[in-house]
Structure 1
Amino acid sequence: MEAMTALLRILNSLPIFWLLLSLPAVALMRGYWVGDIIAMDMLHPTGEFSARFMIVAMIISPLITIFGNRGWTSWLLRRRRSLGVAAFGYAMLHLVFYIIDMEELEPILAEFWAPGIWTGWAAMLLFVPLAITSNDASMRWLKRRWKMLQRLVYGAALLTLAHWLLIHDGMTGALVHFIPLFMLQLLRMIIIYGRKNKNVVKADSPPASVTTE
């Protein structure tokens, strides 16, 4: 029993969680280092992992709205910041290997305004303030503005989806990743809207009359 408790404690530790998040990057970098993978072939997996971690981080709030505060939703909530930073890290890898693949500044600038390209740059631009402020000090300093800033993730998600759809010929991969996010966010909005309407109805209802005979 003690051994199981110790194992769970290790698995639940943030350093181990960060190690798990980094494993795909380690495997990809090893393949690139030994020459099994070229820079161009690094673009799709790094971008995909970035989108995956972003999506997982974004579905945590809908899951809490739907299922309430449970052990597993609280576990996910405590790791949401790590997932968001990991999404940014893989996006940075994606950008680095894009620059390596393009080799020179001129071709990068030449295709900058192509829809499939500028959407990726714009998503990255929104990712930067999210990553920079993913710490307790920023939360204390920004206070209520911190939550407003974090809403940039919705714009980043839409731009990431557009980038994915425009860069690749098929839509299946992007939709498989993003439709669950869209459905959960929609369900969250419906639940929140229903709760607000319920509270409004309660507030508008006249008090029960008391009659005596």
Structure 2
Amino acid sequence: MRRIFFATHPYLLWLILASLGIMMTVTALTSTDPKIFHQLVHPAGETSARLLIILMMATPLTMLLKGWRGPQWLKRNRRYLGVASFGYALLHTIFYLIDKASVASVVGELPRLYIWTGWIAFLIFVPLALTSMDYFVRKMGTWWKWLQRWTYAAAVLTLVHWAALHDWGGAAPALIHFGPLIALEAYRVWYWYLRPSRRTARAS
């Protein structure tokens, strides 16, 4: 198990993360089904959301499961997961635009809650992905960490985007997926701000 977590080559990890996207792209380009892009919109978006959830769970899992190698591995590879999440979000957006086939259709849907929340989440993802390289980490310093905190806003918008997709009637899948992350973030807040030992230390 240790070998699996600590000796995974970055190129192998990239291949694993990209494999589903490659299959989706090949399917889209080779299928004769006129609705293929519509059928691929949701799987691409859901994959992006799942990767976002996994990368955001890394830190609270490391706090909760101290010494466990799995959460530590996730924490070290958060940037890979983040870029992959953006890649699937980009694929989701491309499939959506091709499916709509006209600017008028896209603009006409913008007032809908599940549409504009998705667009804002995607726009937040863009600078996060573009500045994911070590070069920007060094150049931006503390500003890089500030920018990365916008991941939380993107996550909230992604949750609303997914949950409101079917007029909130289909919110269950989104809540089931985001539920563990919400619980872990609640634990994180409790650990740092609300637990008795922490309050006592701050008071003294």
TM-score by length of 2: 0.89
- Contact 1:10–1:16 (Cα < 8 Å) also in 2: no
Matched, 1:19 2:21: no
Matched, 1:179 2:179: yes
Identity %: 39
Larger radius of gyration: 1
- Contact 2:5–2:69 (Cα < 8 Å) also in 1: no
CA distance in 2, matches of 1:9, 1:163: 33
Deviations 1:152-194 (A, max 9, x none): 0110011111111111341121011111110000011111112
- 1:147 aligned partner: 145
Q: Count matched residues.
A: 198
Deviations 1:26-81 (A, max 9, x none): 22222222216611001110000000000000000111121235422221112110
Letter in 1 for 2:147: L
- 1:211 aligned partner: none
Letter in 1 for 2:159: L
Larger displacement relative to structure 2 (30-39 or 114-123): 30-39
- Contact 1:130–1:150 (Cα < 8 Å) also in 2: yes
Task: Give the alignment's Cα RMSD to 1 decimal.
Answer: 2.1
- Contact 2:110–2:116 (Cα < 8 Å) also in 1: yes
| Structure 1 unaligned regions, length at least 5 | 205-213
- Contact 1:66–1:191 (Cα < 8 Å) also in 2: no
| Structure 2 unaligned regions, length at least 5 | none
Of the three residues 70, 84, 87, the one matched with 1:86 is 84
